[in-house]
Chain A
Amino acid sequence: MIKAENVVKIFTGRGVPVRAVDGVSTHVEKGEVVVVIGPSGSGKSTFLRCINGLENFDDGHIYIDGVDLAHRKTDMNKVRAEVGMVFQQFNLFPHKTVLDNVTLAQQVVRKRPRKEAATKARGLLAKVGIAEKEGEYPSRLSGGQQQRVAIARALAMDPKIMLFDEPTSALDPEMVGEVLDVMKQLAREGMTMCVVTHEMGFAREVADRVLFMDEGKMVEEGTPEHFFTAPREDRTKLFLSQVL
């Protein structure tokens, strides 16, 4: 589904080039839930953003369903329409109601008629448990509710893959659970997911595979059991001892 080969992303801040993603190769199969963990600044978010082209990468290849993102003629808009993304800061559209947030891209990008888009949106809002808020503006919602709307908004495009960029990091602790529950449900339904998170509980419970990144490199990858019980690398052991 996703195949990354030797992806390199270099930021040049203050004249010093930083290899934010440094030769990462991995793959995500259809229906698989992959969780990427690692310390801050390890390049995991940047790598995720490379997957849907929000960042251009400097070297390597990323294939989504066989389409090479690095190829000059690839239509990134088409790729992004198939790849859902959920952001740390929700990024709901503040000037649109909850319902319009979920219908807008369906109408504009998928060219669905308003009625069909609204029906789909209502179904998804019910699924994430906030059907009663469809007429509200995002500013009236709690963080957890906003993030669930953001998930519904991404799902409305019928994505083949869902990317989550630290979806619970900006939430108050009591709201983390409601968002994770929605994500768990998605995973059970067989959605292909790639999740950057600091929620080790989620990783252990839901992930099919865990990737550990540090300093732009893929340090270790394996099943949650392997990862949380018998990590191989010293760097992984150190990280886990700090977060668990």
Chain B
Amino acid sequence: MAGALKPPPRRLPWMLLLAVILIGLAAGTWGAVKKIDYTWRWNRVPQYFVYKGEDAIKIPFDGRVTDITEKNSKLVVQLRSEDDERVAVKVDKGFINVSQGEDLFQGDTIGFINQWRMGPLMVGLWTTMWLSAVASVLALVLGLLTGLCRVSNNLTLRGLATIYVEFIRGTPLLVQIFIAYFFIGTVFDLNRNVAGVGALGIFAGAYVAEIVRAGIQSIPRGQMEAARSLGMNVIQAMRYIILPQAFKRILPPLAGQFISLIKDSSLVSVIAITDLTKSGREIITSTFATFEVWLTVAAMYLVVTSLMSQLVFYMERRFAVSD
């Protein structure tokens, strides 16, 4: 019958509705914020990304300025000590405090060097990234081993893996971080970074283990049987047949787990690791720009996690060739 086919859905009205809702939400928020007494100071935020820092250059001994020359738009100051020791230092033009032939005492400031430095937000972001990266590797290794133990026929391995997964999934990450730092960290004399990374990695590892287990179990039995019937042992069959196929399937949930890990890493700020969240808190104590800083911190997390999602999306498409 003609007309039985549905017409293609119309997109434009729905996109307009979406835009209206988003604009409405933004306007509502804007109006609500207007009503409270808050002075926005966005101009204070950029200096916490990068700033120009002044380094004082000091003379390491008692001595005299023998010569000042210009080189690559910097000033090179030649110094000679009383024992005829010679040193050359560089300072920026216009930031020099000494003149030729001047006698100086050890520790006197010769001049300044200006350079761009990472602000606390960038340093915090870097800490968050390496913390998450190391914890992810730890989680992947732990999760893979535990996941394999979970599907093993050996009761001991299966029991150990189950206890690990259940214990970790049944307790809050915040409590685990406290235990890792204050209890285990004290007993084994771990520094806060090791405790933080360890707690995050062990936490995510339990979830990765469940993902790995589900992935392995989702591969049809026939694959293992075919591999075994060709004479492969269990390890070979896992390595060449089951895990490559399982990995392709678990990539999306695994990526979700690692994105969660990046976000969960904000909890290590409670054991005084200066990650992005802690940096934000520290900046607020000196600027009182609470709204701006938290919005900025949220946006920075969002950028990192979005980039992760895109990367995984790209990998998924590359793995899809054999489908």
**B245 neighbours in A (Cβ, 8 Å):** 93-95
Q: Which of A63-120 contact B (CB under 8 A)?
A: 77-78, 80-85, 87, 89, 91-96, 104-105, 108-110
B229 and A93 contacting across the interface, CB-CB below 8 Å: no
Q: Does B86 lie at the interface of the complex (its beta carbon under 8 Å from any beta carbon of A)? A: no
Q: Does B248 lie at the interface of the complex (its beta carbon under 8 Å from any beta carbon of A)? A: yes
> Do A157 and B322 contact each other (CB < 8 Å), given the known contacts A89-B222, A94-B245, A104-B240?
no
A65 to chain B, nearest CB (A): 15
> Do A87 and B222 contact each other (CB < 8 Å), given the known contacts A77-B231, A95-B248?
yes
Complex: how many Å from CA A71 to CA B322?
41
B248 and A157 contacting across the interface, CB-CB below 8 Å: no
Partner of B322, one of A105, A109, A137: A137
A26 to chain B, nearest CB (A): 21
Q: Does B47 lie at the interface of the complex (its beta carbon under 8 Å from any beta carbon of A)? A: no
Q: How many A-B residue pairs have CB under 8 A?
A: 70
A91 and B248 contacting across the interface, CB-CB below 8 Å: no
**A89 neighbours in B (Cβ, 8 Å):** 220, 222
A–B complex contacts, Cβ < 8 Å, 29 sampled: A77-B228, A77-B231, A77-B232, A77-B233, A80-B229, A82-B231, A83-B229, A84-B229, A85-B226, A85-B229, A87-B226, A89-B220, A89-B222, A91-B220, A91-B222, A91-B225, A91-B226, A93-B223, A93-B241, A94-B323, A95-B244, A95-B322, A96-B322, A105-B227, A105-B230, A108-B232, A109-B231, A109-B232, A154-B230
**Quick one: which of A77, A83, A95, A109 has the most chain B CB within 10 A?**
A95
Size class of A's contact patch? 20 to 34
Partner of B231, one of A78, A92, A139: A78
Size class of B's contact patch? 20 to 34
A242 to chain B, nearest CB (A): 29
Q: Does A153 lie at the interface of the complex (its beta carbon under 8 Å from any beta carbon of B)? A: yes
> Do A91 and B322 contact each other (CB < 8 Å), given the known contacts A109-B230, A157-B231?
no
Q: Which residue of A lies closest to B229 (CB)?
A: A85
Q: Does B236 lie at the interface of the complex (its beta carbon under 8 Å from any beta carbon of A)? A: yes
A54 and B225 contacting across the interface, CB-CB below 8 Å: yes
B322 and A81 contacting across the interface, CB-CB below 8 Å: no
B236 and A108 contacting across the interface, CB-CB below 8 Å: yes
B309 to chain A, nearest CB (A): 24
Q: Which residue of B lies closest to A55 (CB)?
A: B225
Q: Which residue of B lies closest to A156 (CB)?
A: B230
**B2 neighbours in A (Cβ, 8 Å):** none
A114 to chain B, nearest CB (A): 14
Q: Does A42 lie at the interface of the complex (its beta carbon under 8 Å from any beta carbon of B)? A: no
B236 to chain A, nearest CB (A): 5
**B226 neighbours in A (Cβ, 8 Å):** 85, 87, 91-93, 150
A42 to chain B, nearest CB (A): 20
Q: Does B321 lie at the interface of the complex (its beta carbon under 8 Å from any beta carbon of A)? A: yes
Q: Does A52 lie at the interface of the complex (its beta carbon under 8 Å from any beta carbon of B)? A: yes
